[in-house]
Structure 1
Amino acid sequence: MDMIAWTNDLYSLNKEEAGGMVTNLILVVEHEHKLDRSRAIDEVRALIDSKVKRFLELRESLSSKQDTHAFELTTQVSGLCDWIAGCQQWHHNVTHRYLPPPASD
């Protein structure tokens, strides 16, 4: 799911750039569209928002389905929702991998 990878790129930008990585979506958008950093971040956030909106629309459309696959699809989508929430939780509260190293005295 693109929204997970792209959200990770928002969090990992500084670390990846400092490490010389050029595959972060923000860096790619910045370079390819000749944008400043702030605008590139805004563009990536808009891409993420678009994917989230579409995901929610599709999830909502499942609630009206009564066919034989509705239960299986609903279960899969519920799992995806848990994955998305878990990734957000991990980025916000669990990992410190993208924080700058502590200043040495």
Structure 2
Amino acid sequence: MSAPDLFAEFLACSEAMMAAAIDQDWAALQANANQRDEIEAAIKRQRAIERRPLNDREAEIFRRVLELDQEVRDRVEPWLKHAGKLLSRWGALSS
């Protein structure tokens, strides 16, 4: 896969993660995160071979991915805290 294709897929996975977070579809969120991790590894391998700075488009994609990551965290963290409280109560009940 070429660099432009990898970067487009990288962004697409981040956008899919955001959509999954909005829908509270945790399985889809995880699946897209796993796929994005694979794409990120491919980008790193390719960049190690090419040894060139990011072009403007690639840099913009990375900025957008970071923004989306923050938005996903903002949506997921309250749910994780709530789930943690429920699990700790359940653990106290099962003792």
TM-score range, shorter chain: 0.3 to 0.5
Higher helix content, 1 or 2: 2
TM-score (norm 1): 0.43
TM-score (norm 2): 0.46
